[in-house]
Structure 1
Amino acid sequence: MSSIRGTSVDIPTQDGTADAYLVYPDDHSPHPAVLLYMDAFGLRPHLKKMADRLAEHGYTVLVPNVFYRHGRSPVVDLPEFIDPSARPDLFQQIMPMMQELTPERVERDSEAWLRLLADCPQAAKGPVGVTGYCMGARLALRTAGAHPDRVAAVAGFHGGQLATDAPDSPHRVVDRITAEAYFGHADQDRSMPPEQMQRLEQALTDAGVRHRCEVYPGAQHGYTQSDTASYDAEAAERHWRELLALLERTLGGARTAS
């Protein structure tokens, strides 16, 4: 296992200053960069552990607090184990912040995240990978569309509302994507029903994007998040295999790590 170093960083944006977590192999060498987008529950210890795992495989990973307009993380007071059915008030706090992340704001913010990685001495020059979870899958897709010259790989896991009828639906940016894409859908996910899965698949195919979209049987929305009631260990490990394979194909730099 690679020795890693994690640190908190502040990132200036057009709308303020965002706190973020940056982690990288502690070997004084630059490594391929990965932008990891949080789920709705925000930047917290579990997401830092996910970033650490990527860093152990030879990547420099940035996890920004995309809710920074509402304060530094943790923006919402979370229990150690998150069961939304037991805490309906959580989404009452989170939903307005999610709705404020308009496509325009996401694109502006993504420029700041990518600029930090471009200037980071621990990040190798060249294209980056982007991965996102739940709402983060939407942010990842929009980032790949907004920065086709910077993003070589884009992945989304248990993403919701990726291909709606709305004129600004995330799937409408795929004609600008040059990255290889992978989406791991949860089949027990009301926010990403089969018709949306099919619409996303068709859009990617029509745009000529190299991609794979797969449904994880029995998995719920949030299956990668081990600090939530939706966690599915088997599906989560499948996600790691697919994500690491995607990053190795597109960025290189992967190492064997336990």
Structure 2
Amino acid sequence: MVITHQTHDIKTPTGVMRTYHYQPAEQGSYPCIIFYSEIFQQTAPIARSAAILASHGFHVLVPEVFHELNPIGTVLAYDDEGKDKGNEDKWTKQLEHHDSDTLALVDFAEQLAGCNGHVGAMGVCIGGHLAYRAALNPAIKAAFCLYATDIHSDSLPSEIGNGTLERMKDIQGEVHFVWGKQDPHVPMEGRLRIYTSCQRTGINFQWQEVNAQHAFMRDEGDRYDAALAMSMYQDAVALFSRCLTL
């Protein structure tokens, strides 16, 4: 599908959140995917990923995940300075503020012209964590979480100490986890902890471990695996087509 692109400034309890919107050009009724980025916000690789998803018949919303901590339009570089700033933001923003962002995005999606009212979530790196976290909201019918960091450690800051793993039982939709076996950010012990929680809580989940490093979806840098990335897009489209077009 040919797609179009625009921006929206969505009000949240912690300030205006610039959100990039990709959608099919042809009029119709399409589901919506909230696509959470890495710590660097909407870089060129993230924009290309969003465009790929939209071209399969979805509205795709890419929020600036650290909008309270940066000027609107901030994009961090894939270098040490950008990584340090992004990690600083990650350890500053409270999980509850991510939750209120998700609420604002869901409300926006449900009122979006040409949206069928069904919403899913997808993300990479911390965005994978945020897609999982979004799935705690019953409005999120499916989540595709790629190499999600910091779930296993429950280490992201929280105002009330409400552990993300402890709340897994609240998930009502379907979750697809993808992990790189060579990813040092989520070691085998961490993956096992998450998998055990999935089994114990009985959520509806899919689990996939692949031979890949962290950030294998990012089409810049030497960790990119194009063949594997293509397979992940197909799996994500299959999940969202099944869960969001009912």
d(CA) in 1 for partners of 2:164, 2:144: 13
- Counterpart AA for 1:74: T
Q: Does 1:157 align with 2:146?
A: yes
Q: Unaligned stretches of 5+ in structure 1?
A: 254-258
Give TM-score scaled by structure 2 length: 0.92
1:60 deviates by: 0.7
Structure-2 residue corresponding to 1:211: 205
Which runs of 4 or more aligned residues in structure 1 lie more than 6 Å from their structure 2 counterparts after TM superposition? none
- Contact 1:36-1:131 within 8 A present in 2 as well: yes
1:15 deviates by: 1.1
- Counterpart AA for 1:119: Q
- Counterpart AA for 1:11: I
SS of match in other structure, 1:170: coil
d(CA) in 2 for partners of 1:184, 1:234: 15
Task: Report how many residues are paired.
Answer: 240
Equivalences for residues 131-170 of structure 1 within 5 A: 131-145=122-136, 147-148=137-138, 150-164=139-153, 168-170=162-164
1:252 deviates by: 2.8
Structure-1 residue corresponding to 2:158: none
d(CA) in 1 for partners of 2:120, 2:151: 19
Q: Deviations over 1:82-129 (max 9, x none)?
A: 4xxxx322222111111122221111111111111111112112x311
- Contact 1:9-1:21 within 8 A present in 2 as well: yes
d(CA) in 2 for partners of 1:244, 1:92: 33
Percent identity, please.
24
Equivalences for residues 43-62 of structure 1 within 5 A: 43-62=42-61
1:17 deviates by: 0.6
Equivalences for residues 178-189 of structure 1 within 5 A: 178-189=172-183
- Contact 1:141-1:171 within 8 A present in 2 as well: no
Distance 1:90 1:229, change over 3 A: farther
Distance 1:165 1:45, change over 3 A: closer
Q: Does 1:103 align with 2:104?
A: no
Match of 1:227 among 217, 220, 229: 220
RMSD over aligned Cα atoms: 1.6
Structure-2 residue corresponding to 1:88: 80
d(CA) in 2 for partners of 1:107, 1:66: 11
Q: Deviations over 1:46-91 (max 9, x none)?
A: 2122111111111111000111111112343x2xxx4xxxx32222
1:168 deviates by: 4.5
Give TM-score scaled by structure 1 length: 0.88
